[in-house]
């Protein structure tokens, strides 16, 4: 537990509110690309868009950009590149079983079994490919620095120094660079999808939300895309987000603890 707490403290600084605000430019870039694709590829032509899929694509691109500034480009491609999302969905089904029956983790992680059933960084699809990208970016930055200068999560991890001046070990960096891509996109996609379904399915809510947005725009209080500070001052929108989390949490099963 002491080792776990120590690891969490090393990572926590990258997730504090101030650090999160500095990630907004990266998120804005993904939002703008998402909106541009919807407008040019679908709205302008009248072509039908499977919004559920594109929200999923957006979530993965955004989180990968925030994690280590290297999105795959799902939104631009318009499909599940290299089957990564489908493979991760299958992985979540396995994870659900393993968290319910932790003894299975010992079997999967056995040195004779893991090379056969586990993911490999040399994989050309699925979780292994993403893990390979994350590890590759960690090693590039340790060797060459941060040439693009983006203050992403990996940048924060690399900046950390404890009271003795020690940074985060490379092995831990490689895990933490990969973790947001596993943990984040599904949650983001779930919440956005559910919010849109309930908003457009409830005309009263839709009209009230649009009125709130229109009033903020009229007063010049909304950027494009809206900032976090602007959005949190929209009480009805905030209420919708909280209600979506209440009725449809991103994780639909209990995670065991020991």
* Cβ neighbours of residue 102 closer than 8 Å, sequence gap 6 or more: 256, 258
Taking 60 as the threshold, does the pLDDT of residue 144 lie above it?
A: yes
47, 167, 173, 182 from 9: Cα distances, Å: 48, 12, 13, 20
pLDDT for position 199: 96
pLDDT band at 115 (very low <50, low <70, confident <90, very high): low
pLDDT for 99 equals 72
- CB under 8 A, 24+ apart: contacts of 114-123: none
Task: Tell whether the model's pLDDT for residue 198 goes beyond 60.
Answer: yes
Going by pLDDT thresholds of 50, 70 and 90, the confidence category of residue 124 is low
Structural domain spans, the chain: 2-182
Residue 189 confidence (pLDDT) above 80 = yes
Sequence-distant (≥ 6) Cβ neighbours of residue 189 within 8 angstroms: 55, 56, 58, 59
> In the numeric block, which tokens belong to residue 5?
């707490």
**In the prediction, which pLDDT does 113 show?**
60
Q: What are 55-75's pLDDT values in tens digits?
A: 999 999 999 999 999 888 999
Residue 254 has pLDDT above 60, yes or no: no
Work out the mean pLDDT of the chain and round it to a whole number. Answer: 86
């Amino acid at each position: 537990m002491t080792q776990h707490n120590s690891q969490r403290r090393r990572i926590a600084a990258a997730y504090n509110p101030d650090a999160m605000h500095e990630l907004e430019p990266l998120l804005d870039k993904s939002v703008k690309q998402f909106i541009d694709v919807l407008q040019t590829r679908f709205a302008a032509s009248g072509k039908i868009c499977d919004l559920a899929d594109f929200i999923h694509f957006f979530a993965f691109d955004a989180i990968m950009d925030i994690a280590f500034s290297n999105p795959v480009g799902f939104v631009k491609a318009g499909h599940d590149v290299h089957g990564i999302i489908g493979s991760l969905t299958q992985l979540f089904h396995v994870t659900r079983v393993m968290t319910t029956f932790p003894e299975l983790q010992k079997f999967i992680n056995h040195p004779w079994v893991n090379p056969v059933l586990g993911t490999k960084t040399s994989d050309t699809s699925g979780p292994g490919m993403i893990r390979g990208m994350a590890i590759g970016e960690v090693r590039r930055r340790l060797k060459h620095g941060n040439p693009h200068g983006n203050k992403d999560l990996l940048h924060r991890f690399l900046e950390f120094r404890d009271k003795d001046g020690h940074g985060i070990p490379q092995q831990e960096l490689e895990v933490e660079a990969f973790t947001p891509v596993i943990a984040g996109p599904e949650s983001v996609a779930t919440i956005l999808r559910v919010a849109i379904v309930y908003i457009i399915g409830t005309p009263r809510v839709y009209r009230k939300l649009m009125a709130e947005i229109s009033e903020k725009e009229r007063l010049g209080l909304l950027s494009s895309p809206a900032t976090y500070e602007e959005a949190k001052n929209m009480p009805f929108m905030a209420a919708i987000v909280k209600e979506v989390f209440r009725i449809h949490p991103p994780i639909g099963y209990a995670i065991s603890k020991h």
